């Protein structure tokens, strides 16, 4: 663990490279199916395997998906795109080269606003977003000397989102990854599943003396399959690099792998050992030109982004930042809530219902499918509570559960049938309040002598004697009026 003194002496610098598999039905340059979880080597073809005489063809939808990401990140969209061969040999790269973008990424620059754990905001500057194809997958079985290769993943469309070295803590890296995951899911271009490998991250980490203008030598950390492991790997490298410098040792620019069990990294290869990729333009692919018409067509499909909905919920609906953060964490929740607010103007009450009763059901139901309770019915239920006809307790614990079973029934009719309508008539409640006070004369004296906390006891007895049907606002008003006499 680094001391506070050393943390103040050195500046941690992080750049991230995030690979996102695109949700196209076919691969980047072939018609093979692009589907996770199929039997090994069943989603391949002569094109994917790079057989002689085969010709690749660009996946138009993958290009559109990359453009959507660029628009979401306020990047400059490159209109004339050329793919290049990146030559290197890996057992799971069947062609012996990877088709990627070298000097001309499809999206140049851009930024991703993120919110940090302390609620401060930061704009993460991007270097680029470029397109490429994925490699296959090597499989190492326990206690087996051989490596198995599954080419199903080879050729899967990828975008690589590359930041500038502007992140300065594991917390910032975690926040950026969370925002990228939200973005690709809102855009419907990637499912964001790190466990299945559809979202992967490499971290470039370095440290330098604070106040220095020169970046330190960086190391690249690979093989991290969760946001938490990215966080842990960066923390480990921060301590390791500072330890090397404090010991007077040299930092080696290298690629390292992360071991999730030990929380440590190990050297894979030095940067000097890397192959010369010998990039050159792919001769079998024509340049991809994005016309004004095509770009405008993609723009017309752009959904509301999480930051736009967040701003709307805070500024237009007047919600606290905590509520807006929760509501925009999931696309399904954000869109469902946004539609709910077209049926009710009790925005804070609607938010409370989303963060309470609705959230509690999301393990069994999905808001993107046919949720049992419609926006209209929930808005009626909210109105019953806000109008004082039904208590929130009765509505959230009894009515809501019954409506989940009988979604077509009117909340008001159901409340009447279950005898849950609150008593708000003062003339009906006054005798009950008087009875409670008359049976607690000693407590009334204590209240009048300053023990105002006894109000809860009186309210509890009023609710008990009214069988839970007393309107709390009216009951409190009557209690206060009679106790202050």
d(CA 474, CA 163): 58
CA distance 325 to 310: 7
Other C-beta atoms closer than 10 Å to the C-beta of 462 total 23
Q: Please write down the long-range contacts of 237-242, taking CB distance under 8 Å and 24 or more positions apart.
A: 237/203, 237/205, 237/265, 238/2, 238/12, 238/170, 238/205, 238/207, 239/1, 239/2, 240/265, 241/205, 241/206, 241/207, 241/216, 242/2, 242/6, 242/10, 242/207
What are the Cα distances from residue 273, in Å, to 163, 255, 278, 308? 24, 10, 15, 45
Q: Are 104 and 282 in contact (CB under 8 A)?
A: no
How many CA atoms, within 13 angstroms, populate the side-chain half-sphere of residue 19?
21
SS3 at position 455 = helix
Residue 35 CA to residue 25 CA, distance in Å, equals: 7
Inter-CA distances, 208 with 163, 214, 232, Å: 19, 7, 20
- Return d(Cα 293, Cα 278) in angstroms, integer: 35
- Report the candidate in 345, 349, 346 with the shortest Cα–Cα distance to residue 357: 349
Residue-range domain boundaries for the chain: 4-295, 304-417, 426-483
φ, ψ of residue 104 to 5 degrees: the values are -125, 80
The CA distances from residue 147 to 39, 138, 139, 141, in Å, are 17, 6, 6, 8
How does pLDDT run along the chain (485 residues), one tens digit per residue? 788 888 889 999 999 999 999 999 999 999 999 999 999 999 999 999 999 999 999 999 999 999 999 999 999 999 999 999 999 888 889 999 999 999 999 999 999 999 999 999 999 999 999 999 999 998 888 888 888 999 999 999 999 999 999 999 999 999 999 999 999 999 999 999 988 889 999 999 999 999 898 889 999 999 788 999 999 999 999 999 999 999 999 999 999 999 999 999 999 887 655 557 899 999 999 999 999 999 999 999 999 999 999 999 999 999 999 999 999 999 999 999 999 999 999 999 999 999 999 999 998 999 987 899 999 999 999 999 998 888 888 899 899 999 999 888 899 999 989 888 877 767 777 888 888 888 888 888 888 888 888 888 888 888 888 777 787 888 888 888 888 87
Length of the chain: 485
Q: Is the pTM of this model over 0.85?
A: yes
CA–CA separation, 417 and 412 (whole Å) = 9
In what helix (H) or strand (E) does residue 265 lie, and over which residues does it extend?
Answer: strand 264-270
CA 286 to chain centre: 36
Non-local (6+) Cβ contacts of 361 within 8 A are 404
Closest CA to 351 of 361, 341, 366: 341
Q: Which CATH architecture has domain 426-483?
A: Orthogonal Bundle (1.10)
């Amino acid at each position: 663990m680094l001391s506070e003194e050393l943390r103040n002496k050195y500046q941690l610098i992080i750049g991230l490279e995030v690979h996102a598999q695109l949700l196209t039905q076919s691969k980047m340059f072939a018609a093979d199916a692009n589907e996770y979880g199929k039997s090994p080597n069943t989603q391949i073809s002569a094109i994917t395997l790079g057989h002689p005489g085969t010709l690749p063809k660009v996946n138009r939808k993958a290009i559109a998906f990359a453009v959507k990401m660029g628009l979401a990140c306020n990047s400059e969209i490159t209109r004339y795109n050329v793919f290049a061969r990146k030559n290197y040999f890996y057992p799971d790269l069947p062609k012996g080269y990877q088709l990627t973008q070298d000097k001309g990424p499809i999206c140049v620059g851009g930024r991703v606003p993120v919110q940090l754990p302390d609620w401060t905001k930061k704009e993460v500057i991007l270097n680029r977003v470029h397109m490429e194809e994925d490699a296959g997958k090597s499989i190492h079985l326990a206690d087996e000397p051989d490596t198995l290769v599954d080419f199903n993943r080879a050729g899967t469309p990828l975008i690589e989102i590359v930041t500038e070295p502007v992140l300065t803590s594991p917390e910032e890296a975690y926040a950026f990854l969370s925002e990228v995951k939200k973005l690709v899911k809102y855009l419907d271009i990637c499912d964001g599943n790190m466990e299945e490998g559809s979202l992967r991250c490499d971290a470039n980490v370095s440290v330098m003396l604070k106040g220095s203008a020169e970046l330190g030598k960086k190391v690249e950390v690979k093989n991290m399959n969760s946001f938490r492991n990215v966080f842990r790997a960066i923390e480990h490298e921060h301590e390791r690099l500072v330890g090397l410098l404090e010991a007077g040792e040299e930092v080696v620019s290298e690629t390292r792998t992360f071991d999730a069990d030990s929380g440590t990294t190990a050297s894979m290869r030095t940067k000097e050992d890397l192959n010369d990729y010998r990039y050159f333009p792919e001769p079998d692919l024509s340049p991809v030109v994005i016309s004004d018409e095509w770009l405008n067509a993609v723009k017309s499909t752009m959904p509301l982004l999480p930051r736009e909905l967040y701003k709307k919920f805070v500024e237009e609906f007047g919600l606290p930042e905590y509520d807006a953060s929760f509501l925009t964490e999931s696309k399904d929740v954000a869109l469902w809530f946004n539609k709910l607010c077209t049926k009710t103007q009790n925005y804070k009450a609607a938010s409370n219902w989303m963060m309470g009763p609705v959230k509690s059901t999301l393990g069994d139901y999905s808001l993107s499918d046919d949720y049992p309770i419609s926006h209209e019915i929930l808005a009626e239920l909210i109105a019953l509570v806000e109008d004082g006809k039904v208590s929130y307790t009765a509505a959230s614990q009894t009515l809501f559960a019954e409506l989940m079973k009988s979604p077509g029934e009117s909340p008001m009719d159901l409340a009447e049938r279950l005898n849950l309508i609150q008593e708000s008539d003062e003339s009906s409640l006054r005798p009950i309040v008087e009875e409670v006070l008359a049976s607690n004369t000693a407590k009334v004296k204590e209240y009048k002598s300053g023990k105002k906390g006894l109000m809860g006891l009186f309210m509890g007895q009023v609710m008990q004697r009214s069988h839970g049907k007393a309107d709390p606002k009216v009951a409190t008003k009557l209690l206060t009026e009679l106790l202050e006499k």
